[in-house]
A and B are shown apart, each in its own frame.
Chain A
């Protein structure tokens, strides 16, 4: 097990190297370069001046030189400056965007699991009951809903239509983050509850939009996984021993049924941290997905590179963790 882990960790090094080469090449191949906007912004710029700017941004060097320069700095923890924001790319990604994404996507994931696991269990235990059919139908509906359609629908309903027709219905905020910072609470300008309330108020719609699909997915998985386990011999044996249904379910079946869910969540985490570009766009949420999209459009490649390389690392890491987790929780799997 230990040897296997070490081997996989070592395999991660060339994998990440290859991934970073590919990502860097992809970025270098992007149509246009960071100077396009400068060129458009200023009609009177001359070829020589543009050449000078090109040199100033290091764009006159071949890709491989740029890559190794980037790599050399990156391993020392310097991910370069954001061309667009003027601050360091790492600071921008990890301080200004990651927390917001953690808040939105993380919250959505937690809520989804909190809803999906009990509902999935219920659905599996009452397989083929009316409730099961209803839950399945709802889950499928949630799963089939295009997220941007749902997002716009929620906005239209809760921020426009319902408040328009129900006079006392509160108008939900249409996006963005509240103008309250933690420092306001610390300085005593604003109460803790008001602070939490504000953030919850702003998070409500985007979290809802993000959760619907995840709830649907995890409910289905939970149901399928539990049914699988309930059909297995050891559960039958437990039942045959005369254990109460409750004990069979919670003590034996559930623990085994949760294994695939745990793995699934593990594999989903890089995606969670990668942000949800569509939801973030609709609700003007300053998260990672939007940051990556914007940095690509604005050709702010240090930011794009930092974010994408970080996500590639997370993906590789959580893949490994998921594989190891299989081994830990399922004694039948042996890695040598």
Chain B
């Protein structure tokens, strides 16, 4: 009784209003039903699937079990190893949805945080570094900054040490050779470079005692985005897949332990998140930039709310509509990309069935068994379509300007 009365009546009606609007969007409603069915299918796969998705026929004339067309026993036929396509489709939904949801969720969380920070602090550079000998009004306030101030000294000097050490590691051979009398151009160049780097490090160390640095988070994050955009995905994928397969690398062992036979899922999710947050961060930044100029923000600030509270209790909830919309689109996008990666040989390992690797494999038999491509192709299509409609419906429903 009591709990029912607790939620603020206003917000309840706002969501109820959105829901009423959403229900009117017939296609979006059907999309929602499709998504729910898909999720159910993924959860109930062991109950729904008529066969084990990896079970192969044994004994007898094996070839006769392969590439069967649709029949009563196998509604969608059998694949190149006599496995039931329907069961594989049902189990495949697990990976596709796992990839889709995990990527969308992680990308949204990461993108929202970075986008909010960028938007909220745009044009208001933060104290980023304040040397130990630097005098500054409020130099130790708030306590959080005081803590960061000390940490930043450690980080700064550790970094300088790292640079100095690294340059020595890189140049030491050449320098030793040079001291040993072998003055080739490359040795001389390396020695000079080492001296230069060390001089710079020494200068930076002195500067660090008194120095102060302000950082506009917006610029930092925006340049980070620019930088991310210039990083090519393909070589990154190759490197990661080699790295994660190396038992000598901790991440590889960890991914292996956590995901078992589907460790490659981890690689794909990582890559998709690494590039997926960018869109959301840009979007959120834009929304926050305009929201922070509005009265309610100023009011909250005037009331003495902390920056974090203003950002995440007042601003982000008001930006939630475009974020949700973008998230649904991201789900569909991630599923598509997973399929495309399978096509390029970076997909999820067999025998785990995913729609992406089923479709890729079917391409091999497009002339002998074209129907094999239809089921996974259609499922990818249907899922992405459903999520797009869902996003569209949510956009209309959550947009206060749209008509009732």
Task: Decide if B200 is an interface residue (CB 8 Å cutoff).
Answer: no
Task: Decide if A23 is an interface residue (CB 8 Å cutoff).
Answer: yes
Residue pair A23, B340 in contact (C-beta under 8 Å)? no
Residue pair B401, A26 in contact (C-beta under 8 Å)? no
Question: Known interface pairs A140-B388, A145-B381. Does A315 touch B239 (Cβ–Cβ under 8 Å)?
Answer: no
- Quote the shortest CB–CB distance from A24 to chain B (angstroms): 10
- Quote the shortest CB–CB distance from B124 to chain A (angstroms): 14
Size of B's binding interface in residues, CB under 8 A: 41
Task: Decide if A204 is an interface residue (CB 8 Å cutoff).
Answer: no
Chain B residue numbers with a CB within 8 Å of A26 are 231-232, 235-236, 239
Task: Decide if A87 is an interface residue (CB 8 Å cutoff).
Answer: no
Chain B, range 336-356, C-beta contacts under 8 Å to A = 336, 339-340, 343-344
Question: Known interface pairs A27-B235, A152-B366, A293-B344. Does A143 touch B384 (Cβ–Cβ under 8 Å)?
Answer: yes
Residue pair A152, B344 in contact (C-beta under 8 Å)? no
Question: Known interface pairs A11-B223, A149-B373. Does A304 touch B235 (Cβ–Cβ under 8 Å)?
Answer: yes
Task: Decide if A249 is an interface residue (CB 8 Å cutoff).
Answer: no
Residue pair B235, A308 in contact (C-beta under 8 Å)? yes
Chain A, range 133-174, C-beta contacts under 8 Å to B = 133, 136-137, 140-141, 143-149, 152-153, 156, 160
Q: For residue B336, which residue of chain A has the nearest CB?
A: A146
Residue pair A144, B363 in contact (C-beta under 8 Å)? no
Residue pair A146, B377 in contact (C-beta under 8 Å)? yes
Q: Which one of A14-22, A117-125, A240-248 contacts B? A: A14-22
Q: Which of B230, B232, B243, B401 makes the CB contact (< 8 A) with A292? A: B232
- A20-47 interface code vs B (CB 8 A; 1 in, 0 out): 0011001101110000000000000000
Question: Known interface pairs A144-B388, A315-B230. Does A65 touch B377 (Cβ–Cβ under 8 Å)?
Answer: no
- B204-237 interface code vs A (CB 8 A; 1 in, 0 out): 0000000000000000000100110111101110
- Quote the shortest CB–CB distance from B199 to chain A (angstroms): 19
Residue pair A149, B232 in contact (C-beta under 8 Å)? no
Chain B residue numbers with a CB within 8 Å of A103 are none
Task: Decide if B170 is an interface residue (CB 8 Å cutoff).
Answer: yes
Q: With contacts defined as CB atoms under 8 Å apart, how many contacts are there between chain A and chain B in the complex?
A: 110
Chain B residue numbers with a CB within 8 Å of A31 are 238-239, 242
Residue pair B230, A136 in contact (C-beta under 8 Å)? no
- Quote the shortest CB–CB distance from B326 to chain A (angstroms): 13
Residue pair A316, B232 in contact (C-beta under 8 Å)? no
Residue pair B381, A15 in contact (C-beta under 8 Å)? no
Cα of A278 to Cα of B359 in the assembled complex, Å: 14
Task: Decide if B318 is an interface residue (CB 8 Å cutoff).
Answer: no
Residue pair B344, A278 in contact (C-beta under 8 Å)? yes
Task: Decide if B53 is an interface residue (CB 8 Å cutoff).
Answer: no
Cα of A316 to Cα of B227 in the assembled complex, Å: 8
Chain A residue numbers with a CB within 8 Å of B235 are 23, 26-27, 30, 296, 304, 308
Residue pair B239, A149 in contact (C-beta under 8 Å)? no
- B304-345 interface code vs A (CB 8 A; 1 in, 0 out): 000000000000000000000000000010001001100110
Task: Decide if A319 is an interface residue (CB 8 Å cutoff).
Answer: yes
Q: For residue B171, which residue of chain A has the nearest CB?
A: A64
Task: Decide if B262 is an interface residue (CB 8 Å cutoff).
Answer: no
Chain A residue numbers with a CB within 8 Å of B223 are 11, 15
Q: Would you call the interface of chain B mostly helix, strand, loop, or mixed?
A: helix
Question: Known interface pairs A19-B227, A140-B389, A278-B343. Does A311 touch B381 (Cβ–Cβ under 8 Å)?
Answer: no
Task: Decide if B385 is an interface residue (CB 8 Å cutoff).
Answer: yes
Q: Which of A23, A30, A231, A315 makes the CB contact (< 8 A) with B401? A: A231
Cα of A318 to Cα of B263 in the assembled complex, Å: 36
Cα of A220 to Cα of B170 in the assembled complex, Å: 53
| Interface residue range, chain A | 35 or more
Chain A residue numbers with a CB within 8 Å of B236 are 26
Residue pair B170, A23 in contact (C-beta under 8 Å)? no
Task: Decide if A312 is an interface residue (CB 8 Å cutoff).
Answer: yes
Chain B residue numbers with a CB within 8 Å of A18 are 227
Question: Known interface pairs A31-B238, A140-B389. Does A147 touch B340 (Cβ–Cβ under 8 Å)?
Answer: yes
Question: Known interface pairs A29-B239, A140-B389. Does A156 touch B232 (Cβ–Cβ under 8 Å)?
Answer: no
Q: For residue A304, which residue of chain B has the nearest CB?
A: B235
- Quote the shortest CB–CB distance from B357 to chain A (angstroms): 12
Residue pair B226, A23 in contact (C-beta under 8 Å)? no
Task: Decide if A179 is an interface residue (CB 8 Å cutoff).
Answer: no
- Quote the shortest CB–CB distance from B352 to chain A (angstroms): 19
Chain B, range 255-302, C-beta contacts under 8 Å to A = none
Cα of A214 to Cα of B348 in the assembled complex, Å: 27
Chain B, range 9-61, C-beta contacts under 8 Å to A = 27
Cα of A11 to Cα of B27 in the assembled complex, Å: 46
Residue pair A316, B238 in contact (C-beta under 8 Å)? no
Cα of A160 to Cα of B226 in the assembled complex, Å: 44
18 A-B pairs besides A304-B235, A316-B230 with CB distance below 8 A are A18-B227, A22-B231, A29-B243, A30-B242, A31-B238, A31-B242, A140-B388, A140-B389, A144-B332, A146-B339, A146-B377, A149-B380, A277-B234, A277-B344, A278-B340, A308-B232, A316-B226, A319-B229
- List 20 A-B residue pairs with CB atoms under 8 Å apart, sorted by A's residue number: A11-B223, A15-B226, A15-B230, A18-B227, A26-B231, A26-B232, A65-B186, A133-B27, A140-B388, A143-B388, A144-B332, A147-B340, A148-B340, A148-B360, A149-B381, A278-B344, A296-B234, A308-B232, A312-B232, A319-B226
Ordered nearest first, which 4 A-B pairs have the shortest CB separation?
A144-B384, A312-B230, A31-B242, A19-B230
Interface residues of A (CB under 8 A from B): 11, 15-16, 18-19, 22-23, 26-27, 29-31, 62, 64-65, 133, 136-137, 140-141, 143-149, 152-153, 156, 160, 231, 277-278, 292-293, 296, 304, 308, 311-312, 315-316, 319
